[in-house]
Structure 1
């Protein structure tokens, strides 16, 4: 699976705060949160290490993408995973270039450099961690 990755030796809450701050500096906000571990515990009684999926969105990039292709909402927002592994938190960010590569050539042409710009912004946010 294609993702931007980084591992931090921090508690999950601190890693999350840093991720959100880095994303914010690149114009992204968090629209959604799924606490996978809590959901599996509540619905199936399964114990899992902390695992969060955050839906990150840069409104100006999203608006441009939706203008080029209204169906692009199927690929939005960009997912950010924070997965606790022992004393470390692995951060994975969906690679927009890889995700948008699934689109037909005509749609990719309308998007122009938008997937690359989104990837660059996300990579910079990750690098700040």
Structure 2
């Protein structure tokens, strides 16, 4: 089983990051955290490491209603939240890849029926957000 859902978008980097935020918001996800991996690598490891990773941002996305249901069913699910969405682009690439963790990975770790329902709902929403991103590039 693959553990991510992905879309490839042929738009400028900053546009893809903005459109990713918008597409997630349309599906009820807010961004709780943001990690600029490139900036962190440059600061901690130098320009060569930053160039090797390229533009790379990790967005910690959360749909509060879904998170609440998952945590009520199984409090340990908090270790898997927020749902990470990666926006990445290699140094000389023409496209940007947007990847989200596939919520079905939670189902593999839990027998709670509510967790499966939440994962199904979250997966539908994330797939729609990625489809909207792909459509925005056309």
**TM exceeds 0.5?**
yes
| Gaps in structure 1 of 5+ consecutive residues | none
Higher helix share: 2
Alpha-carbon RMSD: 1.3
State the match for 1:79 in structure 2: 84
Would the aligned equivalents of 2:87 and 2:96 in 1 still touch at CA under 8 Å? yes
Shift of residue 60, structure 1, vs aligned partner: 0.4
Q: Does 1:54 align with 2:55?
A: no
Shift of residue 102, structure 1, vs aligned partner: 3.3
Cα distance in 1 between the residues matched to 2:7 and 2:75: 32
State the match for 1:26 in structure 2: 27
State the match for 1:102 in structure 2: 108
> 1:58-69 to 2 correspondence within 5 Å?
58-69=63-74
Which aligned segments of 4 or more residues in structure 1 are displaced greater than 3 angstroms? none
| Gaps in structure 2 of 5+ consecutive residues | 134-138
Cα distance in 1 between the residues matched to 2:115 and 2:3: 20
Shift of residue 37, structure 1, vs aligned partner: 1.0
State the match for 2:136 in structure 1: none
Would the aligned equivalents of 2:107 and 2:116 in 1 still touch at CA under 8 Å? no
Shift of residue 112, structure 1, vs aligned partner: 4.0
Out of 115, 122, 129, the position equivalent to 2:119 is 115
- 1:73-114 deviations in Å (ceiling 9; x for gaps): 1010111001113121111011001x2033142xx3342411
